[in-house]
Structure 1
Amino acid sequence: MIIRKAIKEDVPSIVSMIADDKLGALRENYQNPLPLRYYEAFKRINEDPNQELVVITNAKEDVIGTLQLSFIQYLTYQGGIRAQIEAVRVHKTYRSKGIGQKLFEWAINRAMERKAHGVQLTTDKKRPEALNFYEKLGFKASHEGMKLHL
């Protein structure tokens, strides 16, 4: 398995995984051909030095997992950087095989390389299995997150 920076050709596989659950199916528009707005978003992510969209591939080079790692500059922590992990997905046929853990190990190591003082994430309360997974990786529910959907 290889973890690498996502390329344009990976976008359909990434969106397919994001759309392939009960919550993603409500907000994504996975179809063939993929709507142009996904490629436009990929271009903006790819051009931003503080965004890293990665995939993990199997031996046949199929995309089997993904996550987005964002580096956020703060004035707090003496001008520190936080790493934010989002959009973690593993293809349904590869779940419970250690793929997610490999992605997180990569992301945590990358955050340390970038001198981040912490790694944070959010998870939907409707995904208790994800919360359990993150806790097993050492993440703590230390803050209460809130969102305002626009």
Structure 2
Amino acid sequence: MDNNMLFREAEETDVDEVVKMLANDPLGKTRENYIHPLPDQYLKAFEAIRSDPNNELIVAVWENQIIGVLQITFTPYITHQGGWRATIEGVRTSEYVRGKGVGTNMITWAIERAKTRNCHLVQLTTDKTRKDALRFYEKLGFQATHEGLKLKL
């Protein structure tokens, strides 16, 4: 991809395309409900993200098309001497641009964004079944230093 890629905060009109990307993979198909009109909970979640100064839903745009999305959350911690962390979640790229460097550009952008917010650490998780994603993040310097656990409610 050329250098004309733009990163910006998502707008309400982008939510449909964001959900479409989230639903367009094996795990997303089981978790998301991409129908028209979109269920209200997506717009409610978008409004909650947009109104929180420590959450950003970012889209990557190229030639006026949304080609990627990620959410970045900034969290203060009492550990690390009261430092801030950035957590990257919900990373997806459009199917037609995969393997063209979009994901690398998105994560690089998110790391730089974390630096501007004075974060001392960037963290992310990926599902254990996403072997390609794990290799992708490791190539970017991320290390699996912790064992993550979840409890579905």
Indicate whether the TM-score tops 0.5: yes
Partner of 1:22 in structure 2? Answer: 26
Partner of 2:92 in structure 1? Answer: 89
1:106 and 1:5 map into 2 onto residues whose CA distance is: 12
Name the SS of the counterpart of 1:23 in structure 2: helix
Q: Gapped runs of 5+ residues in structure 1?
A: none
User: Runs in 1 of length 4+ with deviation above 4 angstroms?
Assistant: none
Q: CA deviation at 1:145?
A: 0.6
Match of 1:119 among 97, 111, 122: 122
Name the SS of the counterpart of 1:49 in structure 2: coil
Q: Gapped runs of 5+ residues in structure 2?
A: none
1:50 aligns with 2:54: yes
Name the SS of the counterpart of 2:49 in structure 1: helix
Q: Percent identity?
A: 53
Question: What RMSD in Å do the two structures reach over aligned CA positions?
Answer: 0.5
Q: CA deviation at 1:58?
A: 1.2
What is the TM-score with the length of structure 1 in the denominator? Answer: 0.98
What is the TM-score with the length of structure 2 in the denominator? Answer: 0.96
Cα offsets for 1:64-111 (capped at 9, x unmatched):
100000001110011110100000000010100000011011100010
AA at the equivalent of 2:108: E
Name the SS of the counterpart of 1:149 in structure 2: coil
1:63 aligns with 2:66: yes
